[in-house]
A and B are shown apart, each in its own frame.
Chain A
Amino acid sequence: MSWALELLKAIGLTLVIFTFLAVVTAMIGVYAERKIAGWIQARLGPKHVGPQGLLQTIADTVKLLQKEHITPRRADVLMFNAAPVVVAVAALLDWVVIPFGTLGSRVLVVRDINIGVLYFSAMASITVLGILTAGWSSNNKYALLGGLRSAAQLISYELPLALGIIWAAMVAGTLSTVGIVEAQIQQGGWFLFTLPPPIGRLGAPFGILAAVTFLVAATAEVNRVPFDLPEAESELVAGYFVEYTGMRFALFQLGEYGEMFGMAALAVIMFLGGWAEPHLAPYLWVAVALGAVVLAAVILLTARHSLIIRPVLILAVLTAAVSLLMSVGIHLPSIVWFLLKLFTLVFFLMWVRWTYPRLRLDQLLNLSWKVLLPLGLLNLLATGLILTLGGR
């Protein structure tokens, strides 16, 4: 009898997460990316479809839904069709272990799996197979080459990714995502800046190094610029998914966006305290609000383009509002904090994408094997040493 109840709950939670992903990552995320890309490139981005172009993604989805599915001659049909589904489902499965916040005493997570972060890493490694299959089954030499290069890139960056995760697991003492957030709440500071007492703020360099390692590896894992050589438009004409049309192509992109948000969510959980709200004295919150207003004023007065007036104003107002609420003592729900941190981090990832040029494949692999891997290992050892010497 309890089987049926659990089954219904599981299906319900899946649909909730899927709706969240469809709305936030697909609709809002794609729209935000295009708008931010536009602002960084001194243009407007989508504007016509719906108010401020907000319905652009819906329009694109409708368009893609009625595009013809072309299967290349002599492509292995089963594999060709399965590959985008594998990539999309692997990205979707990441979200089982992401906690969104707390409601009373219950944590808002699909399941708090004991091996949470290890499971996340495993899902990331399944994506590689989907990409290889896509490249091979297209029966196209460009696609195969792109698939192989992408796979080489992805496996090279799985190691620094895992090292970043292990760093956080080591400091928290658990592999569970909820456990890692609770460890940060318990020690009263984010792992990015503080290690457990008595080390405290002195541990900031290690946390920052671990976070940077993880985020660089995560960007590479999602095939985003500056690591998107395998799908580089100018070189390999979209690499491993060159033969994919319409909705199958969209599934690959959805997988990439879902994975990017998932990696950002994990980074928020491991390094930015998850759903915990920052502890600052009230006067500091007021200072933050004032600072946001001042910064916004400076930007607006010195801005060369009128494009950024509206977004800067919106951000300034939001920051000021949140800070003032905090200073008065009104606490925002934890899920709001989680989403705030998540969106900020995703904004940074998008900012990086449109700022940096693409790395060449050998530069990319060198970065992973000769820089991030040794750094990650040394960081682990150094942090381990400090934690041992520093006592409990």
Chain B
Amino acid sequence: MGELGVFIILALVTLIPAVVVVTSHNIVRAALSLVPSFLGVTGLYILLQAEFVAGIQVLIYVGAITVLLLFVIMLTEGGTGVRLRQVNEQVPLGAMAAVWLAFVIIVILTRTVWPIGAGSPPPYNAVAIGNAFMTDYVLIFEATSLVLLVSLIGAIVTARGEE
């Protein structure tokens, strides 16, 4: 019962700033509204007892990606905030598409039978993840380093290519 209440609060903390991100006129405020949204997701992870994932969510999303976004925004303006135009001619079409998509998602969510796994989450999340990486999912783990390398090289090439 308490868990449902906490879930609702966390969902609101995630969704309301997300709406602000999408609709705000002030681009810096929009970017900063991501932070409570990410923190809401962190809370949801904790509710699922995935604390390691929650920790890295804060570390990466709040600590790195938001900073990256803010760098880009603050460096391409250098002054007053740009006021974004929020509506254009395609609003009716967009609204119809959004409503249809919402309908489809709600139908799927309510009609699927969600299987609940047996047992409880591992008591020490990081150990379980580490074991999984090193044994069952080694290939994916190594492939991840390749993906990171490629993205690093790509980013450098793209950014420096302007010289």
Contact = CB atoms under 8 A, between A and B. Distances in A.
Interface of A: 3, 74, 76, 78-79, 113-115, 118-119, 121-122, 125-126, 128-129, 132-133, 136, 139, 141, 144, 148, 151, 155, 158, 175
Interface stretch (B55-63, B145-153, B154-162): B55-63
B2 A3 contact: yes
B51 A114 contact: yes
Interface stretch (B28-36, B85-93, B95-103): B28-36
Given A3-B2, A115-B55, A148-B71, 5 more contacts: A79-B28, A126-B63, A129-B67, A132-B67, A132-B74
Given A129-B67, A148-B74, A121 B59 contact: yes
B28 A113 contact: no
A114 B54 CA distance: 12
A122 B55 contact: yes
B125 interface: yes
B67 A79 contact: no
B32 A125 contact: no
A4 B108 CA distance: 39
A132 B70 contact: yes
Contacts of B71: 148, 151
B104 to A, nearest CB: 36
A114 B129 CA distance: 14
A125 B51 contact: no
A95 to B, nearest CB: 17
Contacts of A128: 63, 67
A122 B124 CA distance: 18
Contacts of B120: none
Contacts of A158: 63
Given A125-B58, A129-B35, A136 B74 contact: yes
Given A115-B51, A126-B62, A129-B66, A148 B126 contact: no
B128 to A, nearest CB: 11
A125 B78 contact: no
A79 B52 CA distance: 30
B74 A125 contact: no
A175 B67 contact: no
B2 A115 contact: no
B47 interface: no
A129 B56 CA distance: 16
24 contacts: A3-B2, A74-B80, A76-B28, A78-B29, A79-B28, A113-B51, A118-B55, A118-B126, A121-B59, A122-B56, A122-B62, A122-B63, A125-B58, A125-B64, A126-B58, A129-B32, A129-B62, A129-B63, A136-B28, A139-B80, A141-B78, A148-B71, A155-B63, A155-B64
Contacts of A118: 52, 55-56, 59, 126
Contacts of B124: 114
Nearest to B66: A129
A76 B125 contact: no
B51 A122 contact: no
B4 interface: no
Contacts of A155: 63-64, 67
A122 B2 contact: no
A115 B125 contact: yes
A119 B55 contact: yes
B62 A125 contact: yes
B118 interface: no
A157 to B, nearest CB: 12
B116 interface: no
B38 to A, nearest CB: 11
Nearest to B63: A125
B160 to A, nearest CB: 16
B139 interface: no
B126 A115 contact: yes
Contacts of A126: 58, 62-63
B106 interface: no
Contacts of B28: 76, 79, 136
Contacts of B84: none
A305 to B, nearest CB: 45
A113 B62 CA distance: 20
Interface in B27-50: 28-29, 32, 35
